[in-house]
Amino acid sequence: MSDKQSSNAYWQANLRIIWICMAIWALVSYGFGIILRPLIAGINVGGSDLGFWFAQQGSILIFIVLIFFYAARMNKLDRDHGVDE
C-alpha cells in the first residue's frame, strides 16, 4: 500500500470514529434529552424521569465516556497505521 493510500485509509477510519461518536452524542443529548423526552418521561431514574436525567446528567456522562472511547480507538488506530508516539 502506498503512503498516500495508507494516509487516506487512516483518515477515513478516523472520520468514521468521529461520526460514530457524534451520532451517539446527538442521539443522547438531543434525542433522549429533548426530542424523545415525552416518550421516556414515565421511566423514573433517581427520583426524576429519564428524559430529565439525560438532559441534566446523562448526556454529560455519555460525553465523558465518548472522550475515553475516542482516545482508546485513536491509540489503536495510530498503532495499526504506525503513527503512534
* pLDDT score for 1: 62
Instruction: Give the residue numbers spanning the domain of 63.
Output: 3-81
Tell me the C-alpha distance between 38 and 59, whole Å. Answer: 17
On the question of pLDDT at 2 being above 80, the answer is: no
Cell numbers for 54: 439525560
| % of the chain surpassing 90 pLDDT | 46
pLDDT in tens, 40-63: 888 888 788 888 888 888 889 999
pLDDT in tens, 68-80: 999 999 999 999 9
CB–CB of 61/55 below 8 Å? no
The count of domains in the chain is 1
